Structure 1
Amino acid sequence: MIIVSDGARWSAGAVARTLGISPTTLRTWDRRYGLGPRTREEGKHRRYDDVDVAALRRMLELTGQGISPAAAATMARGGAGPVPTVHDFIRASTQLDAPRLGRLTTELVGALGVVDAWESVLMPFLVELGERATEEGGGIGVEHVASSAVVSVLHRVGDPLEGGRLPALLAAVPEELHTLPLDALSAALAERGCASRNLGARVPPSALMGALDVLAPQCVLLWAHDPVLARLAPVAKVAARTPVLLGGPGWHRVPLPFGAQRVHSLREAVDVVLTHSGRSS
């Protein structure tokens, strides 16, 4: 049985049992994110009140939706209101409501940051949109409107000064048209004050090598959705000159030369680029 003291003051053990989390997790959330008891009585153990417990419940709900603990903690403490969901984006896209899609994306990125917005809502939304288009047909216009709205917001995140050698050069492999993940990476890096240059879709090998000559980036990320197209990229030539990161499903089972590294998520790509550029992740 869970015992709650007078005045709705909860012990740490009671809170942990009620929420179904370990006392270690409770202590971590308190130390790392400030989600602990707001008051302490001198000479006594810290006690949680109902407001503290409600914030912890909200933290559990948000992390259960795939939102990172840091972003979830900010929201649970009242730093942000309810964020748009995949359902909100689907409804706006089916109505071809580009202005609303833009507003939703702006709210989402503002609340969670680019990486969490992308991984918890935007990417699942775009995947579901693609699946619906395949199953139902005639969804190209919907996808185009949705992608354009998301990209327009990502492009507004910022344009940090390079301050010396360019940290990252981003490009899609030859004939590859899927470039929204590159826009997300560029925005996520900008959010961290890290400059990049995005060459966009269908970058021929000669253009890529020419950009490498001019910009001399600290690393290059090549995006490929299709494994057939991935094999057209001059990965070995680029890797001989600078570290190469390979993003997207197109690199699955493609042999990687020395100096090339696969990245499996936007978060990982940001961390690796920051490391190569000498910035703390």
Structure 2
Amino acid sequence: MTYTPRAVAGMLGIAPTTLRTWDQRYGLGPSVRTDGGHRRYEDADVEVLRRMVGLTAQGVAASAAAVLARQPPAARPHGPRVPIAAGEAVVAQRGFLAAAKRLDEPAMAELAAELLAAHGVVSSWESVFVPALVELGELVATSGEGVEIEHLASGSVLHALRSIPRASGPGVLSALLSCAPDEQHWLPLEALGAALSEEDCRWGNLGARVPAEALCDAVDRLRPRVVLIWAHRQDLALRVPLEELGTRPGVVLTVAGSGWEGVRLPSSVHRPKSLTEAIGLVLSYVR
């Protein structure tokens, strides 16, 4: 498969003149030329240019970025994950947002995967993904534009989170995750689930817009150790049957999200304020 310069420029969200300049100055040109002398880019050429775009978007000088772009992506590290430093988080946010605004889904997915491999779910989510997604959400709210950018960015994060291997085998679910009735913001539940996978915990996610009756039925059938319900608006949180769910023996009932602010909760209901707290709560009951 080969691509014309115009097609590559469109894929990467850059001007054809920029593509020509990078070819002339840094040798980031096509691998193929037709019999008529026309330039044609292969997939490998496009990936080098994609790295070039990402590096320059992060503020790396073009000459240095060209050297780095030619190098194959570093192998994802194994072993203990370390929190993302503040400066590195800012650079990662900038790179992720730049890729989002040019609708470069492969670049976002690659960056998200690298962050998760090096730093784990919690640090990547709290230091990079949430700030970036919040900024994109505010862009949509204030300008009425960019919905496609926000959706593609969320999808890229979701894809990376779901790439983390889940614990398998028989046994009781450590946690059952669910949205409140008509709640559609379920990406935070995927982040919690991925973080639990890193801790080798079995979990299930009922997803968005779970009716109260369906949630109660699922709890009765699955008997999870912890049930966590997400709501980002108070009117949605108030539709969750907390009193009924609280009668299930042996089930630790937990709520999360901004929708629970100001809601009077039964004394037995937990409300973690962060992803780290939610993971710690689940682990404290299953270990």
TM-score (norm: length of structure 2): 0.68
Percent of aligned positions that are identical:
42
Contact in 2 for aligned 1:171/1:182 (Cα 8 Å): yes
- 2:67 corresponding residue in structure 1: none
Please tell me the residue identity of whatever aligns with 1:199.
L
3-state DSSP of counterpart to 1:85:
helix
- 1:263 match: secondary structure: coil
8 Å Cα contact 2:83-2:123 kept in structure 1: no
CA RMSD in angstroms comes to: 1.8
Structure 2 letter corresponding to 1:114:
V
Give the structure-1-normalised TM-score. Answer: 0.69
Is the CA contact 1:236–1:258 (under 8 Å) kept in the aligned structure 2?
A: no
> Which residue of the other structure, out of 109, 113, 117, is the alignment partner of 1:110?
117
Amino acid at match of 2:82: A
Equivalent position SS for 2:228? strand
Displacement of 1:206 in angstroms is 0.9
Residue 222 of structure 1 pairs with residue 236 of structure 2: no
1:265 paired with 2:274, answer yes
CA distance in structure 2 between the partners assigned to 1:256 and 1:72 by the alignment? 33
Match of 1:169 among 169, 176, 179: 176
Superposed displacement of residue 72, structure 1? 4.4
Contact 2:139 2:145 in 1 (8 A): no
Which residue of 2 is the match for residue 92 of structure 1? Answer: 99
Partner of 1:234: 241
| Deviation at residue 240 of structure 1 after TM alignment | 2.2
Q: Deviations over 1:19-67 (max 9, x none)?
A: xxxxxxxxxxxxxxxxxxxxxxxxxxxxxxxxxxxxxxxxxxxxxxxxx
Taking the aligned partners of 1:239 and 1:157, their CA distance within structure 2 comes to 32
**Could you say which residue in structure 1 is the equivalent of 2:82?**
71
Secondary structure of 2:270's aligned partner = strand
- SS of equivalent to 1:197: strand
Which residues of structure 2 form unaligned runs of 5+? 1-80
Task: Assess, with a 3 A threshold, how the Cα gap between structure 1 residues 228 and 162 changes in structure 2: closer, same or farther.
Answer: farther
Alignment of 1:1-281 (within 5 A): 71-72=82-83, 85-161=92-168, 163-241=170-248, 242-278=251-287
Matches of 2:128 and 2:224, distance apart in 1: 31
Say if 1:264 and 1:144 are closer, same or farther in 2 by CA, change over 3 A: same
In structure 2, how many angstroms separate the alpha carbons of the residues matched to 1:277 and 1:168? 9
CA–CA separation in structure 2 for the residues paired with 1:91 and 1:212? 42
Matched residue count: 203
Any runs of at least 4 consecutive aligned residues in structure 1 with deviations exceeding 2 A, and if so which?
A: none
Partner of 1:46: none
Work out whether residues 162 and 194 of structure 1, in 8 Å CA contact, stay in contact via their aligned partners in 2. Answer: no
Alignment check: 8 A CA contact 1:186 1:196 kept: yes
Question: Does the aligned pair in 2 maintain the 1:239–1:258 contact within 8 Å?
Answer: no
1:163 to partner: Cα distance: 4.2
User: Residue 96 of structure 1 aligns to a residue in which SS?
Assistant: coil
1:173–1:224 Cα contact (<8 Å) kept: yes
Question: What's the CA shift for 1:245?
Answer: 1.1
Shift of 1:239: 2.1
